[in-house]
A and B are shown apart, each in its own frame.
Chain A
Amino acid sequence: MVELVIFVLMGAGTLAGAVTVVLARNPVRSALGLLGALVSLAVIYVVNLAHLVAAVQVVVYAGAVLTLFLFVIMFIGVDRSEDTSETIPLQRKLVAGFATVVALGAAALVSRGRFTWTPASGEAAEIPNGTVQALGGELFTTWVLGVEVTALLLTIAAVGAIALAFHRRSAESPTED
């Protein structure tokens, strides 16, 4: 009952946010739509007992990533409106057709799958409780190699971003338009 109400409310919030991201003319509105979608998804995660994932979703996505997006939007300038006329012929129609095909395919796959929380073995599975302790234990025992590799990846990304920011600032080639 509670789950149904939250699913309907937050699912509607997620979809409304996603539609705003896709259709808003102003990039700031897109960013705020993304914020709505991310927070609604975090609530859905809580209902699924993915507590730590929900917290990280709010802190990392709605906090850090979205702030970065808004910062870059402000840096680039929000007043220049996007030219929405289509230059590639048939692009819109092809996109609509492709989206319909993917959506129908996904719906077909989902409707063929299981529709209950009961696993194939028969008895209902216990909902995995994604507390900090449970998820941390899993991450630092079974998946410790993955954690190390992603730490390396994050370091590379940070170094790469700094390298891009300082790249050839002094040696700007004069021939480039």
Chain B
Amino acid sequence: MPVVTPGWYMTLAAVLFVLGMTGVLIRRNALVMFMCVELMLNAVNLTFVAAGRAAGVLDGQVAVFFVLVVAAAEVVVGLAIIVAIFRRRETASVDELAALRG
């Protein structure tokens, strides 16, 4: 019976991060892109927890706390910006927001 080691968790986190990164790069809907950013943040949180456990310290979980707070603040401001853009332009697609294109 194989034992679950930090490498397993970090591999899972790496796959999760790559999935989120792929989503940010291929999706157009600003909301879905935001959710993919959340996926990447969660991948990093998993790494922190696993690494903290491997090192035998609590600091990894403390770091997760701060990541959570920053993620919450980011979601609040980001969604407010998306709603503000939507009220002006009637779209949430990042491809149609090309007003600054030269």
Contacts and interface: CB of A to CB of B under 8 A. Distances in A.
A and B bind: yes
Interface of A: 1, 3-4, 7, 11, 14-15, 18-19, 21-22, 27, 30-31, 34, 37-38, 41, 44-45, 48-50, 52-53, 56-57, 60-61, 64-65, 68-69, 72-73, 75-76, 82-84, 86-87, 91-92, 95-96, 98-99, 102-103, 106-107, 110-111, 113-117, 119, 125-128, 130, 134-135, 138-139, 142-143, 146, 150, 153-154, 156-158, 160-161, 164-165, 167, 176-177
A106 B86 contact: no
B91 to A, nearest CB: 8
A83 B4 contact: no
B84 A38 contact: no
Contacts of B65: 53, 56, 135, 139
A82 B22 contact: no
B56 to A, nearest CB: 3
What are the nearest 6 A-B pairs in CB distance? Answer: A125-B56, A106-B14, A157-B73, A22-B23, A161-B80, A164-B80
Majority SS of interface residues in chain B? helix
A117 B27 contact: no
Interface of B: 1-12, 14-23, 25-29, 31-32, 34-36, 38-39, 42, 45-46, 49-50, 52-62, 64-66, 68-77, 79-84, 86, 88-89, 92-93, 95
A27 B83 contact: no
A28 B17 CA distance: 21
6 contacts: A21-B39, A73-B31, A76-B31, A117-B53, A161-B77, A165-B83
A7 B19 contact: no
Contact of B32 (A21, A91, A135): A21
B20 A18 contact: yes
Given A99-B22, A103-B14, A83 B73 contact: no
A72 B26 contact: no
A49 B53 contact: yes
B46 A41 contact: yes
Nearest to B20: A18
Contacts of B1: 1, 4
Given A21-B35, A30-B35, A153-B69, 9 more contacts: A21-B23, A37-B16, A37-B39, A83-B95, A119-B55, A125-B55, A126-B56, A139-B62, A142-B62
Contact of B79 (A52, A72, A128, A176): A72
A21 B18 CA distance: 13
